[in-house]
Chain A
Amino acid sequence: MPFDVAITLQRGKLRLDYAFQTEKGGLTALFGPSGAGKTSLLDAIAGLARPSEGRILVEDRVLFDKARRIDLRPEQRRCGYVFQDLRLFPHKSVRDNLLYGWRLAPAERRWMDFDAALGFLGIGHLLDRRPATLSGGEAQRVAIGRALLSGPRFLLMDEPLASVDAERREEILTVIERIRDELALPILYVSHDRAEVDRLASRVIAI
């Protein structure tokens, strides 16, 4: 099973419960209004926030299980996290951003090579630039490339169209469709936009 999640997150006095399982293949959208705790859920799956209870399995691998005291560190979870605010490293070139996770992954875990990623995302001409000089659409594609090159076993995408202007939406949507259709990678996709979800998602989970 790609995602099998049943956790409780404590945010201040607020108690957030999540429970869902997904079928194999395609893209799973987490749909709900802003402030519903969608990003908190992705952070918990990535290992950046610790649930107070429950368990998280991805592809039948236990990432977190309170009862069994399992809590893998973020760097052990092999998740490709495309953050809403991108978080490209400002002190590194686009090339070094893209290769950051790739260099850390053992050779047998890399399933996409550098040139393939450049072609796939159309970012070959940006390599020597600094992130601060990129447009919203370019930065978004670099952030997706950085995640894919780290050899992840699953992808978390948090509102990937949020920092992209209207003319560039189509370009990013196409990239995401290709990832969904060509890469056989479980994807959790967070959005509050109905049209976006209808177009991309194989299934929708309301949060």
Chain B
Amino acid sequence: MPALTPEEWQVLVLSLKVSFVAMAAALPLAFALAWVLARWRFPGKVLLDALVHLPLVLPPVVTGWLLLIAFGTNGPLGRFFAEWLGLTFIFRWTGAALAAAVMALPLMVRAMRLSIEAVDRRLEQAARTLGAGRWRTFATVTLPLAMPGVLAGLVLGLARSIGEFGATITFASNIPGETQTLPLAIYSALQMPGSEWQVTRLAVLSILVSVVALVASEWLARRSGQGGAHHAL
């Protein structure tokens, strides 16, 4: 395939930027939610669980619309971010990242929650009797044992965010150079007559990105999976 055109480069770089920023923002939130759902017991937990899973079951266009209401110029969260952090989302790449993060969140929380639940709490007790406080126990026992699931969640989230389309186009719109990620660029190209070659190039690019992400994640999982798989003894 011939070298990428400047427009294609722009789409690729923007896609990666949106996905990585989305993951960086979603990772701590997803882990915190997974932790709360795995370890805490409180009234309303079912509700929180349902809320987290909502983007997974709603039509993406509805999620995008809800984001518009919440994070729009006059939305409560939109106002908050604009006033306190100077951060706006609508029609901007940050909005595409937000949509990608929200759509990826349920998958990340599910994977991480399962791995946290699988950590043998008796090992945490052993660490405590050996002199480790709560945080050190978390950092040296719980987190390393849950790491394969955390990475699996990250990979699932990344895959989901790279492919994100519906919520993004609804919420952040389809603006070349600002919010037009790979799937949106492919959609735009499909709308134009006689652009089969362009669509093909973008589709191949999309496949390449996915394959690279898959191989990288496999490698990561292999590296961290050693020792984390077996429990008890």
Contacts and interface: CB of A to CB of B under 8 A. Distances in A.
Contacts, number: 75
B228 interface: yes
Given A91-B144, A91-B145, A91-B227, A150 B131 contact: yes
Interface in A131-160: 131-132, 134, 139, 146-147, 150
Contacts of A70: none
B123 A89 contact: yes
How many residues of B sit at the interface, in one of the four size bands? Answer: 20 to 34
Interface string B121-153: 011011111111100100011001100000000
A64 interface: no
Interface string A24-54: 0000000000000000000000111000000
B230 A77 contact: no
Interface string B218-233: 0000000001101111
Given A100-B130, A101-B130, A74 B233 contact: no
Nearest to B137: A75
A57 interface: no
B227 A101 contact: no
Interface stretch (A79-87, A113-121, A177-185, A190-198): A79-87
A87 B230 contact: no
B217 to A, nearest CB: 20
A47 B120 CA distance: 18
A90 B122 contact: no
A46 B127 CA distance: 12
A87 to B, nearest CB: 4
Contacts of A85: 122, 232-233
A48 B233 contact: no
Contact of B122 (A75, A87, A146): A87
A169 interface: no
Given A80-B129, A104-B131, 6 more contacts: A83-B126, A90-B228, A90-B233, A100-B140, A104-B130, A131-B233
